[in-house]
Structure 1
Amino acid sequence: MNIPRILFSAPSSGTGKTTVTCGFLSALKYRNQNVVSYKCGPDYIDTLFHSNVLNVNCYNIDTFLMGEKNVINLFCQNAFEKQIAVIEGVMGYYDGIGGISTDSSTYHIASLTKTPVILVVNAKGMSLSIVALLKGFMEYQKQSYIKGVILNDVSEMHYQTLKKLIEKELPLQVYGYLPLKQEFALKSRHLGLITPQQTEHLQQKMYLLSKQMEKTIQIDEILELAKTAEPLPFVPQNIPKQIQKCRIAVAKDDAFCFYYEDNIQYLKQYGCDIQYFSPLHHKTLPTNIHGLILGGGYPELYAKQLSENTTMIKSIQCEINKGLPVYAECGGFLYLHETLEDMQGKEYTMLGVIKAKAVKGERLKQFGYVTLCAKQNTLLCDKGECIPAHEFHYWQSTNNGNAFDAVKPLSQKKWQCVHSVGNVFAGFPHIHFYGNTNIADNFIKLCCTQVKKS
């Protein structure tokens, strides 16, 4: 399958690759290009930026969470009939599992998808050293896929000097630069970049950024580079017909906004009618539902508002008590607690389904990739079954659950997590359904049993 594509990466985090990626996507939008975007790794927030800029879905690609075969197939499936696929890297280009491997790194994705790579380098305060830096990245792996560089935070005069140095010394093309301008800056929060809903005048920022990209980035030449990507093998999925359809309510608002788009698409492909609702603003759950999904996000920022929406709390409590199947991750897990502390440490009443308190932590404790190993038969999988997952949270629970052991890759570190009690499956880990489709399939089956009861 021929897919013109480009990947923006960087030597490290914080160099401006999200700014460059979003600016490039915005510029393509104003050129009326039919684009699909991707984010390497488990990150939710950058995908929200991509979606907000493009007003289309953005997909995560992660070899640990999805497996190599699924990465290629889903990449091709989601890029079908698009003019170009744009991929944003994660962390530094070669940074993978445990910080000691290239597995699940941006480089791993580039080599798997055979995608040309442009490094975004913050060149402020650098001169000839930038050549040594780039040479090291190009030669660290025999086939690095690195074809070019964009310089960030430099003046036009300094850019011209660096461009001549780089192109004289290395077989790399310099595709332009971005000057240091505060109007392009994207603020951060405890989970990384803030969400698009919280960014002031985002569309105006992206418009100005796209105009700057047109002036100082060689967009046409990047598009030509994207066309040099070689064809990929694509095996279309065989989706069996779901005889019994079900209706699943999915929490989606500023408090609950972390979802892998492929997870939602998986449910839809298997006949699920997705009904979005807002625990912040709506008074009750959607009617005639057969399952409930509470995703991650920032409920701690909206603890007071969530607590004061008592009609929604009662509506959810009532349906859960009736046996409604519930799947909750991270922020959704916190919402199920008896109480939740806000950013100032003030405690608010929540759903009370999990008999525990959600409290503000001082630092990250359990985070990163894990393999979940079921210690017992659970609501969604059998004892001994394993699921690749990811954790990243500052808030802690006084009762993490004990249905699974979470085991860190390339490490002996592990901890207990996840509640699987009755009709509720809830915990901190984020799961990509393609990592173990039994999770989604079993949840769908549970929801379908509710259809028969209704």
Structure 2
Amino acid sequence: MNSKKQAFMVSAMKSGSGKTLITLGLINIFKRMGKSISIYKTGPDYIDTMYHEKIAGSPSTNLDPYFLEPAFKPGELKRLFFRNFKNDIAIIEGAMGLFDGIYGEGKRCSACSVSEELFVDVIMIVDMDELDNLSTYLQSFKHRVKAVIVNKVEENADINMIRLKVNEMGLFLIGYLHFDTNFYIESRHLGLYEPQKSIFDIVNNVSDKLSKTLDFTTLENFCVKEPNDTDIYNDKNIHNADLNIKQNRYRLAFAFDEAFSFTYEENIKVLEEYGFEIVKFSPIHDKVLPDNISVLWLSGGYPELYAKELSSNISMLKSIYNKNIPIIAECGGFIYLHDFFEDGVGNKYPGVGLIKGKAFKTKKLVRFGYIEIEAGSESILMKKEQRIRSHEFHYYDSTCNGEYAHAIKANKSKEWDCINASNNIFAGFPHLYLRGYEFLIQNLVSFLERERDV
């Protein structure tokens, strides 16, 4: 092993600089060249990874620097990166700005921290009118920035002068993209809308323009050295042997449609490693739950956008309400389980009815950010005093947030109680990440085994 493979990170000084669009353009350019690409996104992003998958035709992996922080889970982030790096090129899109991480704690858990952990160099996307600020920005912290792609360049701009400015910073100008009002992807909150069909036309256009300016020779020098530790490439989960789990021993119904689409690809992998057969279904379109299931998982998403459709599917509401099996619900799934939930303009609709209360729209982000959760007692997923890292990102609140666990923000600035966990339910606003927290699924399997033996 011990060879070098092509890899780089795409980052910027802030959100809204065109990172995602140019990342998609690069993916598309390499696909046209016949290259296979492994794609990643730093942070807890769900939607950008959907865009990656649309263009690449293969899943994108979240490299979250908080869930797998080296001081907390040594080696896990690097292991995840290389286990999923099975192609010619790895492209990592950084979240927000290069140094944006946990508020008040420098570059901790930022895209920069991921590049340093993986020894991957960074290409910065910089708008033309912000290029003069880049040098000062990069003086903030140590970094691995090596090159720049300048965005929104005027047609009559002097490229040699731009290159000179970049070179004076000790960086390479590796490409540029002329200003075009058609190069725009609509966003909501702090992220993009879910990808539409028009994205292919936009990305093809960007790829055509960007490929004419890219310095492919310099780009080929962006490499990462593979570790000698062959265990990093071993997909066999060591816990499976310990638990003597048979493949497909349990069927797990996983909500996945227009209303519920936020999940980590690694979550599906972990569940399958522990012997679960994943059966995707639609709370909007299907009339009842799939047959012979042992677990129900309601992922995050935008149920408020489909409140009428979800609420009018009465047979599905009843099917979930009457199903006495473990139910795990994150954020959007949690909203759906309420007696009532509001749509985006405040209209109230009946939900499943397993959470006694109402989920309602607010005017700002509620309890936003990375958190650490400690369980107060035993449940289907956690034992008393077990801890996991998680995050919340929602404009909704609930009259019944739950008191099963206690959450503390990563920078220790706030804390609150969360999660409803009684009998067979584990539901709340926090999103769950399973890689590195396999004990959650070990606990679930143990619960199912006990129920089977009763």
When the two structures are superposed, what TM-score results if normalisation uses the length of structure 1? 0.92
**Matched ranges for 1:40-189 at <5 A:** 40-68=42-70, 69-80=75-86, 82-124=87-129, 126=130, 130-131=131-132, 133-142=133-142, 144-158=143-157, 160-189=159-188
In the aligned structure 2, how far is the partner of 1:448 from the partner of 1:181?
Answer: 58
What letter corresponds to residue 326 of structure 1 in structure 2? I
Q: Which segment is superposed worse, 60-69 or 100-109? A: 60-69
Q: What residue number does 1:440 align with?
A: 441
Decide whether aligned partners of structure 1 residues 195 and 233 sit closer, same or farther in structure 2, where only a CA change above 3 A counts.
farther
In the aligned structure 1, how far is the partner of 2:436 from the partner of 2:272?
Answer: 17
**Matched ranges for 1:403-414 at <5 A:** 403-414=404-415
Q: What residue number does 1:5 align with?
A: 7
* 199, 203, 212: which one aligns with 1:215: 212
Report how far residue 243 of structure 1 moved.
2.8
Q: What residue number does 1:257 align with?
A: 261
In the aligned structure 2, how far is the partner of 1:254 from the partner of 1:410?
Answer: 34
Q: Which segment is superposed worse, 401-410 or 444-453? A: 444-453
| Alpha carbons 2:65, 2:114 under 8 Å: kept | yes
Q: What residue number does 2:225 align with?
A: 230
* 1:206 aligns to 2:203 (yes or no): yes
User: Which structure 2 residue ranges, 5 or more long, are not aligned?
Assistant: none
What letter corresponds to residue 148 of structure 1 in structure 2? A
Decide whether aligned partners of structure 1 residues 442 and 108 sit closer, same or farther in structure 2, where only a CA change above 3 A counts.
same
Q: Secondary structure at the match of 2:296?
A: strand
**Matched ranges for 1:386-425 at <5 A:** 386-425=387-426
In the aligned structure 1, how far is the partner of 2:45 from the partner of 2:183?
Answer: 21
Q: Secondary structure at the match of 1:366?
A: coil
**Matched ranges for 1:363-382 at <5 A:** 363-382=364-383
| Alpha carbons 1:341, 1:359 under 8 Å: kept | yes
Decide whether aligned partners of structure 1 residues 280 and 169 sit closer, same or farther in structure 2, where only a CA change above 3 A counts.
same
What letter corresponds to residue 355 of structure 1 in structure 2? K
In the aligned structure 1, how far is the partner of 2:376 from the partner of 2:446?
Answer: 22
Report how far residue 161 of structure 1 moved.
4.8
In terms of fraction of residues, the more helix-rich structure is 1
In the aligned structure 1, how far is the partner of 2:430 from the partner of 2:221?
Answer: 38
Q: Which segment is superposed worse, 112-121 or 282-291? A: 282-291
* 1:20 aligns to 2:22 (yes or no): yes
Q: Secondary structure at the match of 1:207?
A: helix
What letter corresponds to residue 204 of structure 1 in structure 2? D
In the aligned structure 1, how far is the partner of 2:168 from the partner of 2:273?
Answer: 51
Decide whether aligned partners of structure 1 residues 54 and 64 sit closer, same or farther in structure 2, where only a CA change above 3 A counts.
same
In the aligned structure 2, how far is the partner of 1:233 from the partner of 1:90?
Answer: 29
Report how far residue 231 of structure 1 moved.
2.8
Q: What residue number does 1:311 align with?
A: 315
User: Which structure 1 residue ranges, 5 or more long, are not aligned?
Assistant: none
In the aligned structure 1, how far is the partner of 2:425 from the partner of 2:380?
Answer: 7
Decide whether aligned partners of structure 1 residues 396 and 443 sit closer, same or farther in structure 2, where only a CA change above 3 A counts.
same
Q: Secondary structure at the match of 2:212?
A: helix
Q: What residue number does 1:193 align with?
A: 192
Report how far residue 138 of structure 1 moved.
4.0
* Cα distance per residue 1:120-152 (max 9 Å; x no partner): 01113x5xxx34x3323444334x211100111
In the aligned structure 1, how far is the partner of 2:316 from the partner of 2:451?
Answer: 21
* 278, 294, 297: which one aligns with 2:298: 294
Aligned length in residues: 439
What letter corresponds to residue 110 of structure 1 in structure 2? S
Decide whether aligned partners of structure 1 residues 162 and 274 sit closer, same or farther in structure 2, where only a CA change above 3 A counts.
farther
In the aligned structure 2, how far is the partner of 1:27 from the partner of 1:159?
Answer: 25
In the aligned structure 1, how far is the partner of 2:201 from the partner of 2:94?
Answer: 24
What letter corresponds to residue 84 of structure 1 in structure 2? I
Decide whether aligned partners of structure 1 residues 159 and 316 sit closer, same or farther in structure 2, where only a CA change above 3 A counts.
farther
| Alpha carbons 2:402, 2:420 under 8 Å: kept | yes
When the two structures are superposed, what TM-score results if normalisation uses the length of structure 2? 0.92
In the aligned structure 2, how far is the partner of 1:443 from the partner of 1:122?
Answer: 48
CA RMSD of aligned residues (A): 1.9
Q: Secondary structure at the match of 2:16?
A: coil
Q: Secondary structure at the match of 1:50?
A: helix
In the aligned structure 2, how far is the partner of 1:28 from the partner of 1:159?
Answer: 27
In the aligned structure 1, how far is the partner of 2:311 from the partner of 2:158?
Answer: 52
* 257, 271, 274: which one aligns with 1:270: 274
In the aligned structure 2, how far is the partner of 1:264 from the partner of 1:316?
Answer: 21
